[in-house]
Amino acid sequence: MKQMKQKSKVYGSSVTMKFIIAYLLTAVLLIMSFTLLVFENQVDLIGENALLRTFSIGREINAVMEEKTGYEELIQELESKKHLNIEYIKIFNEQNQLLAASDNLPMAPVTPDLIRSIQKSLTKRDFENSGFHHELIFDKRLIDIYIPGPEGTFIVIVGISIEEMDRRMSYLFRQSGLMTILVALIHLIFAFFTYNALISPLRKVLNLLTEISNGNYDVTFPRHRSDEFGLITKKIEQMAGSISSVHSEARNANPLSGLPGNIALEREIQKRLQTGNAFCVLYCDLDQFKAYNDAYGFSRGDEIILYTRDAIEKSISRSHARNCFFGHEGGDDFVIICDYYDWEKISALTVDEFDSRIEEFYSEEDRTRGYIESVDRKGKKQKFPFVSLSIAVVSNHYRKIDSYGQLAHYAAEMKKVVKGIEGSAYKIDRRVN
């Protein structure tokens, strides 16, 4: 239950949630910006098209004004041209006074804006190439055309209905809606592929790491990807294997020396036997160690065991042997596994290193005498020399060895031989049958 809560907490503030929130905000902003841009562009285009249409209407009205001189006659003629979609007609003089208007047009006050437009039209300011002034009244779907009369004595204001504007605006809304849906769909597809390509693999990697951190090293590792996530998964698998091996060795390690124990040593020997390559196993055993323990105590004896460990490790390092495995069977028994051509150098260095400082573990009195006094296994007081190191070496170089048990049997025989040599010594089994 605690693990599930922790997992939920991780996902609550996970990359997935951050990605979803960031992507949604980005997508909404992009969709809104794109839709607004398209909408404004289309609105401007509709307005420009409407204005272009008014240019041709204005020229036609100019032609009518040249033929008709009376105000009422002019209004009637313009109203008869239904194709122009004229909503109203107003005629003002240069004093901004209303001279005539359509029958359907209610009387309205003359506003300052209207006066400015009339004066601008009479003076023909800002006409550019149109020949008349015009104003777009977008909310009423109208365009007011200000056409000055001959010699600028009056101004005709014609309100033209833009009948197609509503239809175009309706089409614009539909178009904008479809574009919004299309862009949103594209974003959803992109988000789907992004999630599968990035977020989903990240969550799988997180799950793998969570399992490994909980001590489960037998998790299933997906192998179908060949990209960076596939490489990461492969590295995690290798890491899990390494951690599993370290934990396994740690459980089997000797508590005093911290070195791999019997199980790890047997596994390493079996592995080398299967390869068939020539290798050696060096069994390192302390002589006169029981007498030292009896005289100085077990804690001092442990110090010699650790000293022996350090001496062997230093010798292996100085030998530059690359394919060594060093373990501790227990008590005063150490084991070195190495290639055949490295055994003699390692043995010689180990014996020299061990003997160089072993006397430091004795009292000044014992060092002066050159021996210690202790009791033997029968309870009799005896003189014992200083602790020495015997190294019995067994190899498949001289004869075939089929099993770990067979190798251990040969090693036991060689231990008896080496222990018969006075002081620290090493010897390899060269028997061929």
Least confident stretch, 38-42, 301-305, 343-347, 354-358: 38-42
- Work out the mean pLDDT of the chain and round it to a whole number: 80
- Residue 15 has a pLDDT of 62
pLDDT at res. 154: 80
How high is the pLDDT of residue 146?
Answer: 81
Looking at CATH, the fold of the domain delimited by 253-428 is given as Alpha-Beta Plaits (3.30.70)
- For every residue of 380-399, DSSP letters joined together read -EEEEPPPEEEEEEEETTTS
**pLDDT tens column, 58-107:** 777 777 777 776 778 777 777 777 777 777 888 888 788 888 888 666 66
**Does residue 167 surpass a pLDDT of 70?**
no
Neighbouring C-beta atoms of residue 374, cutoff 10 Å:
17
Q: How far apart are CA 156 and CA 144, in angstroms?
A: 10
Q: What is the predicted pLDDT for the residue at 223? A: 60
> Could you read off the pLDDT of 178-194 as tens digits, one per residue?
777 877 787 778 777 77
pLDDT value for 9:
45
Proportion of the chain above pLDDT 70, given as a percent = 77
- Mean of the pLDDT values across residues 27-35? 75
For tokens 């390493």, what's the residue?
A: 268
> Is residue 17 over pLDDT 60?
yes
Q: Which residues pair with 374 in a beta bridge?
A: 382
Band of the pLDDT at 11, cuts 50, 70, 90? Answer: very low
Strand, coil or helix: 312: helix
* Domain boundaries defined on the chain: 1-199, 253-428
pLDDT at 7: 47
**By the 8 A CB rule, do 395 and 300 touch?**
no
In terms of pLDDT, which residue wins out, 152 or 143? 143
Report which of residues 278 and 31 the model is more confident about: 278
Task: Report the pLDDT value the prediction gives residue 191, as an integer from 0 to 100.
Answer: 74
- Residue 322: how many other CB atoms lie within 10 Å: 8
Contact 74, 87 (CB under 8 A): no
What would the two tokens of residue 374 be?
Answer: 């202790």
Q: Which pLDDT value is given to residue 100?
A: 81
CATH T-level fold of 1-199: Beta-Lactamase (3.30.450)
Are domains 1-199 and 253-428 of this chain identical in fold? no
Q: Which of 105-109, 174-178, 393-397 has the highest mean pLDDT?
A: 393-397
d(CA 186, CA 351): 76
Taking only the tens place, the pLDDT of each residue in 99-143 is: 888 866 666 677 787 777 777 777 765 555 556 777 777 677 777
Kindly report, residue by residue over 190-244, the tens digit of the pLDDT.
777 777 776 677 777 777 777 767 766 666 666 656 666 667 777 777 776 666 6
Average pLDDT over residues 397-420: 94
